[in-house]
Structure 1
C-alpha cells in the first residue's frame, strides 16, 4: 500500500509542477553550487515539503533527513521517485546517527536537505541539529520556500501547504548562512535564530507573492522553572 501511495504522491508533485507557472527567486548561487557539485545544506519548513523535490533536480545528489516517526517511510519512498535519497533520524530520535550520516554525505560533496522544525514542531521554529551540522561541516545553509496561488492549508501542526495544479507558484532561495566552527551554546543559539529568521521571512514572502495569507510560526512559551523562552 505504501508503494502505491508514494507513487501517487510523486505523480501528484509532477502534475502540480508541470501544470503551474513558476517564478524562481535568488536561485543563482545555489544553482551554481549544484552545477559545480559543491555541498551545501538546503533547509525548508516541514509544511513546505510537497514541492521541494523539484528544487534539487538536474542530476544533483541530495539526501533528505527523514524521521523514523509517522509518515517517514512514505516520504522516503515518495522522494525516491524524484531521485532523492533519505537519511533516517531527527532531533528527537536517532539524532546522532543522522548527524553523522549527513556529515558523511557532505564529505562526498553532496547535498543535505533538512526540515529544521520536523518531525513534530513547533511549527517554523528551528531545532539545534541544522546549526550543529553547518558548524561541524563548514558548508552554507541555503534556506528555501515555496507557495502557490491555488492550494489548501491542512489543519496539521505544520499547516502543510497542499499545492494544487494550474497554479502560479513561487520558489524563493535565501542568501547562504555560514555557521562558524566550535560554537558555544550562545553562538549555536544565534546561528539557529539566523536560520529560523531567514526561513520565516522567505516563506512568508512566498505566500504574499502568491496572494496567500502568510503562516505564522508557533508561539514561543516561557519555561516557568527557568524564566527563559523555549521553542
Structure 2
C-alpha cells in the first residue's frame, strides 16, 4: 500500500528519537531540554498504541506446533524477521507466552539514542534487551548476542537492519548460529490493510481490525564449519518464503 500521511505509533517513536543537533530550537519551537522527556515518552506512547491495536487484529498463526517442544526444552532459538515487519513482534511474543508457553525473547538494541528508544519499547512488553554496538562491523553486537544465546536466552533479530539493504540478510545471524549451535527460526508477519511508510525498509503498521498472519518458517541449524555464504542465501530464502506465506494468508 502507498505510504500514509498519518503518524502511527512507530513514526511517533522515530520522531521522538531525533537528536538535538538535527532538531534545533528555532525549528521545532520548543526548548531543547524538552527533547529528552519526549524521547522517554515515545516508547510508552508507541507501546500503548500497539497494545490497543493488537487485540483488534484478526490474527492467524501457522507453524507454532513445530516449536512447542523447543519452548519447553533448554535449547535457545534465534528468530529472524525482516526489519519492515518488526513492529508487532514484542506484542506477539507477549501473547504467545500467555497462550503457548513461549519463552521471553531478547532483542538487540544498539547503544545509540535510537537504540535506547527501541530498548524502551521492547521492555514495555516484558522483553529482555541486549545492548551492543553496531559499529566496527557489528562486532560488539555479535559478542553481546553470543553471550545471550550461550546463557540460554532466545533472541530475535532483523537481519537486514539497522540500515539495509532491505530484504538482504546480513552475515551476522549466520555467524551467531554457527558459533552458538542455536537453530534459526524465520518469522513471516503480514497484515492487510496496513500503512506502509516511505522508509528504506517499507515499514508496515497494521490498520485496526486488519487481517494478520504470523508464519513460523523451517527451523535451520548451521554447522560451525558450514559454507557461510551458502547458509546465508538459504536462510534468506527461508525468510522470504515465510514472509510470502504470511502475505498470502492475509490476501486470501
Which residue of the other structure, out of 103, 108, 117, is the alignment partner of 1:60?
A: 103
Residue in 1 that maps onto 2:44: 7
Unaligned residue ranges in structure 2 (runs of 5+): 1-37
Q: Does the CA-based 8 Å contact 1:22-1:169 persist in structure 2?
A: yes
Residue in 1 that maps onto 2:66: 29
Which residue of the other structure, out of 170, 176, 199, is the alignment partner of 1:156?
A: 199
Residue in 2 that maps onto 1:72: 115
Q: Does 1:142 align with 2:191?
A: no
| Structure with greater helix share of residues | 2
- Find the aligned partners of 1:43 and 1:166 in 2 and give their Cα distance: 25
Residue in 2 that maps onto 1:38: 75
Q: Mean Cα displacement is larger for which, 117-126 or 98-107?
A: 98-107
Q: Does the CA-based 8 Å contact 1:91-1:127 persist in structure 2?
A: no
Which residue of the other structure, out of 82, 104, 125, is the alignment partner of 2:147?
A: 104
Query: Could you say what secondary structure the match of 2:251 adopts?
Result: coil
Residue in 1 that maps onto 2:88: 51
TM-score by length of 2: 0.77
**Runs of 4+ in structure 1 displaced over 6 angstroms?**
none
Closer, same or farther: CA 47–127 of 1 in aligned 2, 3 Å? same
Q: Does 1:177 align with 2:214?
A: no
TM-score by length of 1: 0.83
Unaligned residue ranges in structure 1 (runs of 5+): 213-231
Residue in 1 that maps onto 2:233: 193
Q: Does the CA-based 8 Å contact 1:39-1:106 persist in structure 2?
A: yes
Q: Mean Cα displacement is larger for which, 40-49 or 8-17?
A: 8-17
Q: Does the CA-based 8 Å contact 2:132-2:144 persist in structure 1?
A: no
Residue in 1 that maps onto 2:171: 128
- Find the aligned partners of 2:164 and 2:134 in 1 and give their Cα distance: 10
Structure possessing the higher radius of gyration over alpha carbons: 2
Quote the offset at 1:94 in angstroms: 6.6
Query: Could you say what secondary structure the match of 2:233 adopts?
Result: helix
Query: Could you say what secondary structure the match of 1:198 adopts?
Result: helix
Residue in 1 that maps onto 2:7: none
Quote the offset at 1:13 in angstroms: 1.7
Q: Deviations over 1:127-156 (max 9, x none)?
A: 110000000011100000211122111110
CA RMSD of aligned residues (A): 2.0
